[in-house]
Amino acid sequence: MRLPSGFLASGIHAGIRKDKSRPDLGLIVAPGGVPAAAVFTRNRFLAAPVVLAKAGLKASGGRVTAVVVNAGCANAVTGREGMAAARRVRRRAAELAGCPENEVFPASTGVIGVVLPDELVRKALPGSFARLSASGMDAISHAILTTDVGPKVVQASFVREERRIRVVGFAKGAGMIHPDMATMLAFVLTDAPAEPGFLKAALRRAAFRSFNAISVDGDTSTNDTLLLMASGKGGGTTMTSLDGEEAFVGALTKVCRELAWKIVRDGEGASRVMEIVVTGARSDREARLAAHAVGTSPLVKTALAGGDPNWGRILAAVGRSGARFAASKVSLAAGRIVLVKDGQPAPYAEKDAAKVFSLERVPLRIDLGAGSGSALLLAADLGHDYVTLNADYRT
């Protein structure tokens, strides 16, 4: 897949990972710099690249020329040494890109507590710049992976002012996935013309409906980053307000939602995903409480791994979620199969419910009967492979 006009990318092996067959250093360049916006993790242990990326965006007025992203080392909880390593990489990238240091956006993923081997990265950067290409999507989408089964790439397009506008995104993430944000990195590139403030508002809206509505294991990372860059090469008037720009927001949200789905489906050891829709809550916040309680319950997730329609576990999770409701008004359905109606078991065939719970995407609808609040959450199951993978992650 080609990148939107105005962007170049590459992916190479820098030596961070021992496996020389796997790329571990990715690069995105927008010659001359472009407007950008980002959303980051809310984990208090911010990785060095996150600290620098946030400060850089503020100092540059929301402008990015180059993105340097590595896998194999999170460079998180590494103190002054880790920060110094990240700064040295940023400085070298800025020299090669011919831009101010604050227009270089760093991102890292991998093991926490290990300082980035910046000498390896700095040595590899000239080769990364030499390999930049408009068709570099495949290379960079592989370079950012950790425990992912494979790359995650999504595109969408729409017509604006008689011009075809493209939105292309790629991401990594399979474990440590939970709202605020979802360990994930995601990069979305568009040739639409837009101001940084507009991009920030659009990205927050899209993230809320996508990456902040998924969960694999209830853990968030120190490095979670979602970056949006707009080259403006698609032409047309510059977007400054969300009003009247529903097509762009829709395309952006579509790309983010599909990437989010791919992350949950690729959850470490996952075999199926719950699509949890909560309605009838007193507020959207309480609906989210109920959805998250179900989506993060080990009992619910292990039952899902076995394809077991054990709805008692689901209601028990809702009951402890903190959402306020009358138990006698709660209903639960799996697809078209009503399991509970007004707090009482509904008549259904166990084999029919089991068929729904054996699907790759299991639709669950919980009506609390207490108001108009609603929420959606995608959550992976929890099987033996998750334990095996994470028990051996560093060995």
Which of the residues are catalytic? 183
Our CA angle for 99, 173, 191, nearest 5°, is 45
Return the H-helix or E-strand segment holding 353. helix 350-357
Query: How far is Cα 151 from Cα 170, in angstroms, rounded to an integer?
Result: 8
Q: Could you please report the per-residue DSSP string of 246-281?
A: HHHHHHHHHHHHHHHHHHHHTSTT---EEEEEEEEE
- E strands, 79-174, are 104-109, 152-160, 163-172
DSSP reduced 3-state for 201: helix
Q: Which of 360, 352, 356 is nearest to 381 (CA)?
A: 360
d(CA 145, CA 147): 7
Contact 300, 294 (CB under 8 A): yes
Q: How is residue 290 written in tokens?
A: 């109920």
Cis status, amide bond into 181, omega within 30 of 0: yes
Q: Is 283 exposed, middle or buried (0-12, 13-18, 19+ CB in 10 A)?
A: middle
Pairwise CA distance, residues 31 & 183, whole Å: 29
Spatial CA neighbour of 121 closest among 9, 48, 49, 13? 13
The token pair that represents 109 in the structure block: 């993923």
Write out the H or E segment, with its range, that includes residue 352: helix 350-357
The Cα 181–Cα 164 span in angstroms is 31
**What is the distance between the terminal CA atoms of the chain, rounded to a whole angstrom?**
34
